[in-house]
A and B are shown apart, each in its own frame.
Chain A
Amino acid sequence: MTSQTLNPETLAARLASELNENPAARRILLRTLLTDDFLLLPSKVDSLMDLPAKVERPR
């Protein structure tokens, strides 16, 4: 039985079990699986980080 024909929940449970046993692989897999939504988060947060400086009232 290939991964394509396996029940998605069964497959996900097995993969999660394997990752629990190998945390380094877990980090690598997450970097691979995360979508652009997550990958763009650092730059978005950076753009928000300078807000306090902008709103600070000039002396």
Chain B
Amino acid sequence: MTSQTLNPETLAARLVSELDENPAARRILLRTLLTDDFLLLPSKVDSLMDLPAKVEGLMDLPAKVEGLSNKVEGLSIRVDHLEQDVSDLKAGQVRIEGRLDRMEGRQDRMEGRQTRMEGRLERMEGRQDRMQGQLGNLMGRNYEHRITRYIVNTAYRDFKMREVRILQGEYSSAHANELPSKIADSEERQLITAEQGYDLERADLIIAGASRADRTPAYAVIEISVTIDSHDISRAADRANTLSSVTGERVVPAVIGDSISHHDRRLAQDSGVTLVIIRE
């Protein structure tokens, strides 16, 4: 009986029995019966067996992508808002720059005006200073005029003099030539210097009379100033000394004014200068 006519199961059982006795032949027969593709199939399938685990790891990928997509959409909206904000800010900046330019223009114009105003103010201050000086001079002359007008009474009361006549001052009378002659004579006799004579002629008021106490000749050199200062006091003292040298008689140095500082009041007292305060 040939293999072709044998029962397949019987034949297979015999062949298995023979192969069991010769395992090396079993491997050779399988390589003969099976193709390489089939023989490599187990190892190929094994290499794919970790795919499910890998796929499992990727299962939440769609959810993650969906989450990322939502986040990107949210970011996109925020970027849109930011772009709008930036656009608004730019527009605001342009408006502010425009206003700033206009304000700078105004400031420049105001600075120009201020400069012109300052110039005008300085000129007005100069004018005011000059007017104050002129007003002071006028008030001084007016004050001096008033004092001279009542000097006879003042001399009687404050200088203890009587029979007063004005030798030098606004109301120089018939006695106007008396003092210049005496000054010139004293300069010639070198009793006084020319400078002292010239300075004496600058005195505000010089009067002559007699002492109320003993009727002896008496003189007074008076400096008149609304506000008496140390210069008025020293001039009165110096000029009284000069006049005393000219006349050889007692001369009262005096200052008459509206006000005097405490310090200058003490100076007048220490210098022997008579102080008379007559309010304006």
Using CB atoms, name the residue of chain B closest to A45: B45
Residues 18-36 of A contacting B (Cβ, < 8 Å) = 18-19, 21-22, 24-30, 32-33
Q: Do the beta carbons of B33 and A8 come within 8 Å of each other? A: no
What does DSSP make chain A's interface, helix, strand, loop or mixed?
helix
- Cα–Cα distance between A53 and B251 once the two chains are bound (Å): 141
Q: Do the beta carbons of B15 and A15 come within 8 Å of each other? A: yes
Given contacts A54-B59, A58-B62, contact A48 B3 (CB under 8 A): no
Q: Do the beta carbons of B15 and A41 come within 8 Å of each other? A: no
Q: Do the beta carbons of A44 and B45 come within 8 Å of each other? A: yes
- Cα–Cα distance between A6 and B2 once the two chains are bound (Å): 21
**B8 within 8 Å of A by Cβ?**
yes
Residues of B within 8 A of A26 (CB): 33
- Cα–Cα distance between A45 and B45 once the two chains are bound (Å): 7
Q: Do the beta carbons of B22 and A6 come within 8 Å of each other? A: yes
Stretch at the interface among B50-58, B108-116, B165-173: B50-58
What does DSSP make chain B's interface, helix, strand, loop or mixed?
helix
Q: Do the beta carbons of A15 and B45 come within 8 Å of each other? A: no
Stretch at the interface among B24-32, B84-92, B95-103: B24-32
Using CB atoms, name the residue of chain A closest to B2: A21
Given contacts A3-B18, A15-B25, contact A21 B4 (CB under 8 A): yes
Given contacts A6-B22, A15-B15, A16-B33, contact A28 B55 (CB under 8 A): no
Which residue from B3, B49, B58 sits with its C-beta under 8 Å from A18?
A: B3
Q: Do the beta carbons of B42 and A22 come within 8 Å of each other? A: no
How would residues 13 to 42 of chain B score, 1 for a CB under 8 Å from any chain A CB and 0 otherwise? 001111101101110111011100000011
Q: A15-B18, A44-B46 are in contact. List 13 more A-B contacts (CB 8 A).
A: A2-B21, A8-B22, A15-B29, A16-B32, A18-B11, A19-B15, A29-B12, A30-B34, A33-B16, A33-B29, A44-B49, A48-B45, A48-B48
> Considering the complex of A and B, which 5 residue pairs feature the smallest CB-CB distances, nearest first?
A24-B8, A8-B24, A25-B8, A8-B25, A12-B28
